[in-house]
Chains A and B, each alone.
Chain A
Amino acid sequence: MTSSVAAVWGHRGVLRLLVQRDLTVKYQQSVLGYIWSLIEPLGMGLIYYFVFGVLYGERVGPAHASYPLFVLTGVFAWMWVSSSLNESTSALTGQARLITTMKVPREVFPIGRVIGRFAEYLAGVPILIIAAILFDGDFGWNMLALPLALMLQAILLTGISLLLSSLNVLLRDVERLMRLAQRALFYAAPIIYPLSRVQQSDVPEWVKTLYEINPLVGIFQLHHAAWIANEWPPNWLLITSAAGCLIVLLSGWWVFRRLEPAVLKEL
């Protein structure tokens, strides 16, 4: 594994090119271009705000912060997760011609997808800042949560994308399964509702434990905490989340290495 990490690092120029190409191709055929990466989460945020903020009112939102800001910080970070999941399944199958003719470490293809989607997240950060100003966000030490969240999320998504991209070559079902899995994951993390709702609910303890094992839980708490100080997650949650991310990365990378010979034959 260390050797393949080194190989990927040695090809970071290639990585940069792939990301650039991805972004160019993705946006050159649409009129609004990269603004789409803002419209989508904004639209989603508006929908969730309408349903859970306006219709359900106090029953869903966090107690001490404005719900619109809470939803936006969650949804923008979620877009990075969901588009990475989507696009990493096709990272190898969709670039088969490149992969079967170029000798570069194959890991760069799924990793490139994750970085590309990260760039889209960064494009949305100004929106988050504006939202935080409008809705009384906290600008202080709590903002350190953001780099931490991004780091954990990058680790997690890299692991998942390595796993999904290689598996999808051999089992095309993965692509379909992901649509369902995405929906489940979206509600299985505190994105549009605060973590306290789960902790205060009547579900059995083991369900809560299972819920908290999901590394996304800690990551999204950090994303909220970056703008809403009192959402800062407890240390045990951070440690669980960090451990989960590392496990996913290691196993994703391991599966990728194991499947690589079969994947190359199949492409």
Chain B
Amino acid sequence: MSSEPIIEARDLGIRFVRNRRRQLSLRDMFIHRGGSHPRAGDFWPLRNLSFDIMPGEAVGVIGRNGTGKSTLLRLVAGVLIPDEGAITTRGAVAPLLELSAGFSSGLTGRENVHLVGSLHGMSRGTLRAKFDEIVEFAGDQVRAAIDTPVRHYSSGMKVRLGFSVIAQLHHPILLVDEVMAVGDKDFREKCYATMERLLAEGRTLVLVSHNENDLTRFCTRGLYINAGKLEVDGTVREALDAYNGLVRA
């Protein structure tokens, strides 16, 4: 295990604008170059976050709704750009931010697997070799419909196929946002098994979940985020206790 953190956040902060009209002011956008003028309607879903995640760690992100957990995951995935501070990832990221994401409804399941897989960096050869495995994992229903357009799929089917593709990626960092909540029991078991296999391979996991069982099952470390601030960075137990303490109070 290398001593360099695989994910490194320094004073991370991102600002959203509550009143969208304000954002439309071109003058603000071009003249104040990212200046931090406090403006009415601004709010910071996350601010002053610093943490290091080492390779192979499994980190659970805990917090109430709307405290910036998903925003954090998007920042790590690189699909949001921070307004303050920096986030560095040393390695490719396999994001499971939205399970069926990236599927074009007009394309068939087969075409979508190829598109999304290659957008995530899978080579043609790998995709061809793994294709059957991906479809197999997604289940019989999906296999029967693999050549029909995705818009005819049920949301469960899209989720299954989406997870199957992501699970085949060899990226060292895995980001998972509330996936365990979807899919039926059967599929959830498959997901659990896959996650455990990936962790055993030494991947780094960042998991957002409200499910204590999932968190304690996979994670060794917990980040408890409240009102955009990192309040607890410790074991999952400590983070969960802080979260539960707040919810009970």
A interface vs B, CB < 8 Å?
A: 13-14, 17, 21, 24-25, 28-29, 97-104, 170-171, 258-262, 264-266
Contacts and interface: CB of A to CB of B under 8 A. Distances in A.
Given A17-B118, A17-B119, A97-B101, A102 B79 contact: yes
Interface in B89-115: 93, 95, 97-98, 101-104, 106-107, 111, 114-115
Interface residues of B, number: 32
B120 interface: yes
Interface string B66-92: 000000001001111111000000000
B81 A264 contact: yes
Contacts of A99: 79
A46 B103 CA distance: 40
A259 B34 CA distance: 11
A242 to B, nearest CB: 27
A265 B79 contact: no
B101 A25 contact: no
B74 A100 contact: yes
Given A14-B119, A264-B79, A265-B16, A101 B101 contact: yes
B79 A261 contact: no
Interface stretch (B4-12, B22-30, B129-137, B207-215): B22-30
11 contacts: A21-B107, A21-B111, A97-B98, A98-B102, A100-B74, A100-B98, A102-B102, A102-B120, A170-B23, A260-B81, A261-B82
A24 B107 contact: yes
A17 B120 CA distance: 12
Nearest to B33: A258
A168 B78 CA distance: 22
B78 A100 contact: no
B29 A104 contact: no
B68 to A, nearest CB: 13
Given A97-B102, A100-B97, A258 B29 contact: yes
Contacts, number: 74
Contact of A103 (B16, B29, B93, B104): B93
Nearest to A102: B119
Contacts of B102: 97-98, 101-102
Contacts of A259: 29
A256 to B, nearest CB: 12
A100 B114 CA distance: 19
Contacts of A265: 14, 16, 80
A28 B107 CA distance: 9
A266 B30 CA distance: 17
Interface of B: 14, 16, 20, 23-24, 29-30, 34, 74, 77-83, 93, 95, 97-98, 101-104, 106-107, 111, 114-115, 118-120
Given A103-B95, A171-B24, A28 B106 contact: yes
A266 B107 CA distance: 26
Given A14-B118, A103-B79, A258-B30, 10 more contacts: A17-B114, A24-B106, A101-B79, A101-B102, A102-B120, A103-B77, A103-B78, A103-B93, A103-B95, A104-B119
A198 B23 CA distance: 42
A258 B114 CA distance: 32
A-B pairs with the 3 shortest C-beta distances?
A: A101-B101, A261-B81, A103-B78
A100 B79 CA distance: 6
B247 to A, nearest CB: 28
A13 B80 contact: no
A262 B29 contact: yes
A100 B74 CA distance: 8
Contact of B106 (A14, A25, A170, A261): A25
Contacts of B98: 97, 100-101
A264 B81 CA distance: 7
Contacts of A262: 23, 29
Contacts of B83: 261
A32 to B, nearest CB: 17
A17 B107 CA distance: 13
Given A264-B80, A265-B16, A17 B115 contact: yes
A25 B23 contact: no
Most buried by B among A21, A99, A101, A170: A101
A13 B125 CA distance: 14
B118 A25 contact: no
A150 B30 CA distance: 32
